[in-house]
Amino acid sequence: MATVFLSTAHTFLPSLPSSSSSSSLSTPATSSYFQKSNGRKKLTLCKAVNDSPSYLPIFTKRSLSISLTSIFLFSLAGDGYSNANAAILEADDDEELLERVKKDRKKRIERQGVINSSNKETAYLQDLVYKLSKVGQAIENNDLSAASSVLGQSTNTDWVQKANAAFTKLSYGPEEKIQVDTFNSSLASLISSVIQKDVEASKIAFVSSATAFEKWTALTGLVSRLKGL
């Protein structure tokens, strides 16, 4: 049996030089085997390393939820900051508006008190309304002589001076004073046009003076106290 085993072994093993001793023959074969074996191991290891997927961040449902929640909270924080600033600005605007409303109300109360205590000035202005009405009717009828008899020859007449005294006392702001100046300049043109018998110029001047007076009464709040407007 030993002879059979040896002959079979020679069939599978590569033929070796006969001059080599048994000890020297076994060493190269064994070394070659391990080198080849180690080479396969190295090759297999490198292949395993190369085939392994590159590192990627792992997103689980929990980590994704936390990330989205963080983004949402930061956005809410930003919106909250903007809304807070907007609320502060709105509060400042509301305070300024409230202050203006208070001041305007205070002025109206003061003005109304002055008007209520200015019966003499109100009577002067009521007389002005009557005179303008008569002048307007006369100009409409082309009766400039009748208009002249009401107006007088200049702005130094008593009723004009009294009207201006009322304007001065009851005018509070620049807008009222502008209307007073417009009225006086238009009245001067009206008197001059009537004296010169210029119907068209008289009509234009009358409309200008009447309009300025009506605007003044609206600004001062006297429109409801004067009859004929």
Higher pLDDT, 182 or 34: 182
Q: Is residue 48 part of a domain?
A: no
Q: Is residue 178 part of a domain?
A: yes
Q: Is residue 17 part of a domain?
A: no
Query: Per-residue pLDDT tens for 48-68?
Result: 444 444 444 554 555 555 555
Confidence of residue 81 (pLDDT cuts 50, 70, 90): low
Q: Which of 204, 99, 196 is nearest to 212 (CA)?
A: 204
Dihedral sign (CA 212, 218, 220, 223): positive
Higher pLDDT, 4 or 190: 190
Q: Are residues 123 and 216 in the same domain?
A: yes
Looking at residue 226, the DSSP 8-state letter turns out to be S
Q: Are residues 135 and 207 in the same domain?
A: yes
Distances (CA, A) of 212 to 7, 93, 184: 141, 35, 9
pTM across the whole model: 0.56
Number of domains observed in the structure of the chain: 2
Looking at residue 20, the DSSP 8-state letter turns out to be S
Higher pLDDT, 164 or 74: 164
Question: What pLDDT shows up at residue 29?
Answer: 42
Arithmetic mean of pLDDT, 91-114: 75
Q: Are residues 146 and 185 in the same domain?
A: yes
Mean pLDDT of the chain: 74
SS3 content of the chain, % helix, strand, coil (to 5): 80, 0, 20
Domain interval for residue 213: 119-220
Residue whose structure tokens are 């009207």: 163
Confidence of residue 117 (pLDDT cuts 50, 70, 90): confident
134, 150 contact by CB (below 8 A) = yes
Q: Is residue 71 part of a domain?
A: yes
Distances (CA, A) of 58 to 48, 63, 71, 90: 21, 9, 19, 47
Calpha distance 139→197 (Å, rounded): 10
Q: Are residues 179 and 191 in the same domain?
A: yes
Residue whose structure tokens are 């929640």: 69
Is a pLDDT exceeding 70 seen at residue 116?
Answer: yes
